Structure 1
Protein backbone atom coordinates (compact mmCIF):
# COMPACT_ATOMS: atom_id res chain seq x y z
CA UNK A 1 0.00 0.00 0.00
CA UNK A 2 1.77 3.13 -1.23
CA UNK A 3 -0.25 5.34 1.12
CA UNK A 4 1.55 3.75 4.07
CA UNK A 5 4.96 4.50 2.56
CA UNK A 6 3.83 8.08 1.84
CA UNK A 7 2.59 8.54 5.40
CA UNK A 8 5.83 7.20 6.84
CA UNK A 9 7.95 9.48 4.62
CA UNK A 10 5.79 12.50 5.49
CA UNK A 11 6.29 11.65 9.16
CA UNK A 12 10.09 11.68 8.85
CA UNK A 13 10.50 13.90 11.94
CA UNK A 14 8.25 11.71 14.08
CA UNK A 15 9.56 9.08 16.46
CA UNK A 16 9.54 5.45 15.35
CA UNK A 17 10.52 2.11 16.82
CA UNK A 18 11.85 -0.59 14.53
CA UNK A 19 12.19 -4.34 14.74
CA UNK A 20 9.82 -6.98 16.04
CA UNK A 21 10.92 -6.77 19.69
CA UNK A 22 10.54 -2.99 19.95
CA UNK A 23 7.29 -3.00 18.00
CA UNK A 24 5.89 -5.76 20.23
CA UNK A 25 6.74 -3.71 23.35
CA UNK A 26 5.06 -0.57 22.01
CA UNK A 27 1.98 -2.56 20.99
CA UNK A 28 1.72 -4.22 24.40
CA UNK A 29 2.06 -0.86 26.14
CA UNK A 30 -0.47 0.72 23.77
CA UNK A 31 1.91 3.60 22.98
CA UNK A 32 2.13 3.20 19.20
CA UNK A 33 -0.05 5.35 16.94
CA UNK A 34 0.27 2.99 13.97
CA UNK A 35 2.16 -0.24 13.25
CA UNK A 36 3.49 -1.27 9.85
CA UNK A 37 4.42 -4.87 9.07
CA UNK A 38 6.31 -6.19 6.04
CA UNK A 39 4.71 -9.13 4.23
CA UNK A 40 8.00 -10.65 3.07
CA UNK A 41 9.21 -11.58 6.57
CA UNK A 42 10.55 -15.11 6.80
CA UNK A 43 9.45 -16.92 8.89
CA UNK A 44 6.07 -15.18 9.06
CA UNK A 45 5.66 -16.37 12.66
CA UNK A 46 8.14 -13.66 13.63
CA UNK A 47 5.36 -11.05 13.37
CA UNK A 48 2.22 -13.20 13.67
CA UNK A 49 1.48 -12.09 17.24
CA UNK A 50 1.60 -8.34 16.54
CA UNK A 51 -1.78 -7.98 14.74
CA UNK A 52 -3.45 -9.81 17.65
CA UNK A 53 -1.96 -7.36 20.15
CA UNK A 54 -2.94 -4.42 17.93
CA UNK A 55 -6.54 -5.65 17.77
CA UNK A 56 -6.65 -6.05 21.55
CA UNK A 57 -5.19 -2.57 22.17
CA UNK A 58 -7.07 -0.80 19.36
CA UNK A 59 -3.90 0.17 17.48
CA UNK A 60 -4.33 0.53 13.71
CA UNK A 61 -1.89 -1.52 11.64
CA UNK A 62 -1.16 -2.18 8.00
CA UNK A 63 1.02 -4.28 5.75
CA UNK A 64 3.52 -3.34 3.08
CA UNK A 65 5.09 -5.73 0.61
CA UNK A 66 8.79 -5.29 1.24
CA UNK A 67 11.13 -4.93 4.24
CA UNK A 68 13.71 -2.96 2.30
CA UNK A 69 11.21 -0.37 1.06
CA UNK A 70 9.77 -0.09 4.57
CA UNK A 71 13.22 0.70 5.97
CA UNK A 72 13.87 3.20 3.18
CA UNK A 73 10.56 5.00 3.80
CA UNK A 74 11.43 5.16 7.51
CA UNK A 75 14.70 6.91 6.70
CA UNK A 76 16.97 4.02 7.65
CA UNK A 77 20.34 3.64 5.87
CA UNK A 78 20.49 2.00 2.43
CA UNK A 79 20.66 -1.78 2.52
CA UNK A 80 18.90 -2.03 5.89
CA UNK A 81 15.67 -4.02 6.17
CA UNK A 82 12.86 -3.51 8.66
CA UNK A 83 10.35 -6.26 9.37
CA UNK A 84 8.15 -3.89 11.33
CA UNK A 85 7.90 -0.23 12.33
CA UNK A 86 5.87 1.37 15.10
CA UNK A 87 5.01 5.02 14.52
CA UNK A 88 5.11 6.60 17.96
CA UNK A 89 3.96 10.09 17.05
CA UNK A 90 2.33 11.67 14.03
CA UNK A 91 3.76 15.02 13.01
CA UNK A 92 1.45 17.82 11.83
CA UNK A 93 2.68 17.41 8.25
CA UNK A 94 1.74 13.73 8.23
CA UNK A 95 -1.61 13.94 10.03
CA UNK A 96 -3.72 14.03 6.85
CA UNK A 97 -1.79 11.08 5.34
CA UNK A 98 -2.20 9.19 8.62
CA UNK A 99 -5.97 9.81 8.68
CA UNK A 100 -6.28 8.66 5.04
CA UNK A 101 -4.34 5.45 5.73
CA UNK A 102 -6.43 4.61 8.80
CA UNK A 103 -9.67 5.25 6.84
CA UNK A 104 -8.47 3.04 3.98
CA UNK A 105 -7.54 0.22 6.34
CA UNK A 106 -10.84 0.47 8.23
CA UNK A 107 -12.61 0.33 4.85
CA UNK A 108 -10.83 -2.93 4.05
CA UNK A 109 -11.93 -4.47 7.35
CA UNK A 110 -15.59 -3.56 6.82
Structure 2
Protein backbone atom coordinates (compact mmCIF):
# COMPACT_ATOMS: atom_id res chain seq x y z
CA UNK A 1 0.00 0.00 0.00
CA UNK A 2 1.04 3.50 -0.77
CA UNK A 3 -0.31 6.20 1.51
CA UNK A 4 -0.86 9.61 -0.02
CA UNK A 5 -1.04 12.56 2.31
CA UNK A 6 -3.53 15.22 1.40
CA UNK A 7 -2.61 18.86 1.40
CA UNK A 8 -0.12 21.11 -0.27
CA UNK A 9 3.37 19.86 -0.89
CA UNK A 10 4.62 23.38 -0.97
CA UNK A 11 4.29 25.01 2.44
CA UNK A 12 4.08 28.50 0.95
CA UNK A 13 0.73 30.19 1.30
CA UNK A 14 -0.72 31.66 -1.87
CA UNK A 15 -1.44 35.32 -1.28
CA UNK A 16 -3.66 36.86 -3.97
CA UNK A 17 -2.23 40.31 -3.26
CA UNK A 18 1.29 39.09 -4.04
CA UNK A 19 0.43 38.13 -7.60
CA UNK A 20 1.80 40.15 -10.45
CA UNK A 21 -0.40 43.24 -10.45
CA UNK A 22 0.95 44.48 -13.79
CA UNK A 23 -0.80 41.65 -15.64
CA UNK A 24 -4.26 42.59 -14.34
CA UNK A 25 -3.70 46.23 -15.24
CA UNK A 26 -2.64 45.41 -18.80
CA UNK A 27 -5.62 43.11 -19.27
CA UNK A 28 -7.94 45.90 -18.20
CA UNK A 29 -6.19 48.33 -20.53
CA UNK A 30 -6.57 45.92 -23.43
CA UNK A 31 -10.28 45.47 -22.68
CA UNK A 32 -10.86 49.20 -22.61
CA UNK A 33 -11.75 50.61 -26.01
CA UNK A 34 -11.61 54.25 -27.00
CA UNK A 35 -14.80 56.25 -27.43
CA UNK A 36 -14.58 56.02 -31.23
CA UNK A 37 -14.07 52.24 -31.12
CA UNK A 38 -17.11 51.83 -28.87
CA UNK A 39 -19.22 53.80 -31.35
CA UNK A 40 -18.66 51.04 -33.93
CA UNK A 41 -20.81 48.67 -31.84
CA UNK A 42 -23.71 51.08 -31.32
CA UNK A 43 -27.12 50.23 -32.79
CA UNK A 44 -28.53 52.45 -35.57
CA UNK A 45 -31.41 53.78 -33.45
CA UNK A 46 -29.08 55.09 -30.71
CA UNK A 47 -29.68 58.78 -31.29
CA UNK A 48 -29.02 61.29 -29.73
CA UNK A 49 -25.59 59.92 -28.84
CA UNK A 50 -23.83 61.83 -26.07
CA UNK A 51 -20.47 63.30 -27.10
CA UNK A 52 -17.35 62.20 -25.24
CA UNK A 53 -17.35 65.06 -22.70
CA UNK A 54 -21.05 64.70 -21.94
CA UNK A 55 -20.61 60.94 -21.58
CA UNK A 56 -17.93 61.50 -18.93
CA UNK A 57 -20.21 63.95 -17.10
CA UNK A 58 -23.10 61.48 -17.26
CA UNK A 59 -20.94 58.71 -15.79
CA UNK A 60 -19.80 61.10 -13.05
CA UNK A 61 -23.43 62.00 -12.29
CA UNK A 62 -24.42 58.32 -12.19
CA UNK A 63 -21.50 57.58 -9.87
CA UNK A 64 -22.58 60.35 -7.47
CA UNK A 65 -26.21 59.22 -7.61
CA UNK A 66 -25.26 55.60 -6.92
CA UNK A 67 -23.74 56.65 -3.59
CA UNK A 68 -27.15 57.86 -2.39
CA UNK A 69 -29.67 55.30 -1.17
CA UNK A 70 -32.59 54.47 -3.46
CA UNK A 71 -31.69 57.27 -5.80
CA UNK A 72 -30.60 55.58 -9.01
CA UNK A 73 -33.17 53.66 -11.03
CA UNK A 74 -31.79 51.03 -13.39
CA UNK A 75 -33.34 48.38 -15.55
CA UNK A 76 -36.05 48.32 -18.17
CA UNK A 77 -38.88 47.09 -15.92
CA UNK A 78 -38.09 49.58 -13.15
CA UNK A 79 -37.88 52.45 -15.63
CA UNK A 80 -41.20 51.53 -17.25
CA UNK A 81 -42.89 51.44 -13.85
CA UNK A 82 -41.41 54.79 -12.79
CA UNK A 83 -42.37 56.43 -16.09
CA UNK A 84 -45.97 55.29 -15.57
CA UNK A 85 -45.90 56.76 -12.06
CA UNK A 86 -44.70 60.11 -13.44
CA UNK A 87 -41.15 60.19 -12.06
CA UNK A 88 -38.77 62.78 -13.47
CA UNK A 89 -35.07 62.70 -14.16
CA UNK A 90 -32.42 62.20 -16.82
CA UNK A 91 -32.64 58.88 -18.66
CA UNK A 92 -29.42 57.36 -19.99
CA UNK A 93 -29.60 54.45 -22.44
CA UNK A 94 -26.78 52.15 -23.49
CA UNK A 95 -26.25 52.30 -27.23
CA UNK A 96 -24.91 48.79 -27.76
CA UNK A 97 -28.01 46.85 -26.68
CA UNK A 98 -28.95 43.76 -28.67
CA UNK A 99 -31.70 43.01 -29.56
CA UNK A 100 -32.76 46.61 -29.94
CA UNK A 101 -36.46 45.72 -29.67
CA UNK A 102 -36.31 45.22 -25.91
CA UNK A 103 -35.99 48.95 -25.29
CA UNK A 104 -36.84 50.66 -28.58
CA UNK A 105 -40.17 51.94 -27.17
CA UNK A 106 -38.65 53.75 -24.18
CA UNK A 107 -37.26 56.86 -25.98
CA UNK A 108 -40.76 57.54 -27.34
CA UNK A 109 -42.19 57.31 -23.83
CA UNK A 110 -39.48 59.70 -22.59
CA UNK A 111 -40.38 62.17 -25.34
CA UNK A 112 -44.07 61.94 -24.44
CA UNK A 113 -43.26 62.67 -20.78
CA UNK A 114 -40.79 65.48 -21.74
CA UNK A 115 -37.88 63.73 -20.02
CA UNK A 116 -34.35 64.41 -21.25
CA UNK A 117 -32.62 61.28 -22.53
CA UNK A 118 -29.51 60.32 -24.45
CA UNK A 119 -27.43 57.31 -25.36
CA UNK A 120 -23.94 56.36 -24.24
CA UNK A 121 -21.78 53.98 -26.29
CA UNK A 122 -21.30 51.16 -23.79
CA UNK A 123 -23.61 49.23 -21.46
CA UNK A 124 -20.54 47.94 -19.64
CA UNK A 125 -19.35 51.46 -18.84
CA UNK A 126 -22.86 52.39 -17.74
CA UNK A 127 -22.80 49.51 -15.24
CA UNK A 128 -19.32 50.41 -14.03
CA UNK A 129 -20.44 54.00 -13.43
CA UNK A 130 -23.20 52.59 -11.21
CA UNK A 131 -20.56 50.75 -9.22
CA UNK A 132 -21.54 47.23 -10.26
CA UNK A 133 -19.73 44.70 -12.42
CA UNK A 134 -22.85 43.87 -14.43
CA UNK A 135 -23.92 45.74 -17.52
CA UNK A 136 -26.77 48.23 -17.45
CA UNK A 137 -29.14 48.90 -20.34
CA UNK A 138 -30.89 51.97 -18.98
CA UNK A 139 -30.46 54.24 -15.96
CA UNK A 140 -32.63 57.09 -14.69
CA UNK A 141 -31.11 59.74 -12.44
CA UNK A 142 -33.76 61.74 -10.54
CA UNK A 143 -32.92 65.27 -9.33
CA UNK A 144 -31.53 65.41 -5.79
CA UNK A 145 -29.93 68.28 -3.81
CA UNK A 146 -26.75 66.23 -3.21
CA UNK A 147 -25.70 66.50 -6.87
CA UNK A 148 -28.07 69.18 -8.20
CA UNK A 149 -25.30 71.34 -9.71
CA UNK A 150 -23.93 68.51 -11.87
CA UNK A 151 -27.49 67.40 -12.69
CA UNK A 152 -28.38 70.87 -14.02
CA UNK A 153 -25.13 71.04 -16.00
CA UNK A 154 -25.84 67.70 -17.69
CA UNK A 155 -29.49 68.57 -18.31
CA UNK A 156 -28.54 71.78 -20.14
CA UNK A 157 -26.03 70.01 -22.39
TM-score (norm 2): 0.59
The corresponding residue for 2:107 is: 51
> Whose strand fraction is larger, Structure 1's or Structure 2's?
1
Q: Which moved more, 1:11-20 or 1:65-74?
A: 11-20
**Deviation (angstroms), 1:33:** 1.4
Instruction: Pick closer, same or farther for the CA change 1:91–1:9 going to 2, 3 Å.
Output: farther
The answer to whether residue 119 in structure 2 is matched with residue 66 in structure 1 is no
Structure of higher RCO (CA pairs closer than 8 Å, 6+ residues apart): 1
Unmatched segments (≥5 aa) in structure 1: 105-110
Q: 3-state DSSP class of the match of 1:63?
A: strand
Within 5 Å, give how 1:1-110 maps onto structure 2: 1-11=55-65, 12-13=67-68, 15-76=71-132, 78=133, 80-92=134-146, 94-104=147-157
Q: RMSD between aligned alpha carbons?
A: 1.6
Is the Cα contact below 8 Å between 2:62 and 2:130 reproduced in 1? Answer: yes
Q: Which runs of 5+ in 2 are unaligned?
A: 1-54
Contact 1:28 1:57 in 2 (8 A): no
| 1:10-31 deviation per Cα after TM superposition (whole angstroms, max 9, x unaligned) | 2221512211111122122221
The CA deviation string for residues 21-44 of structure 1, in whole angstroms up to 9 with x for no partner, is 111221222213121100000011
Larger-gyration structure (1/2) = 2
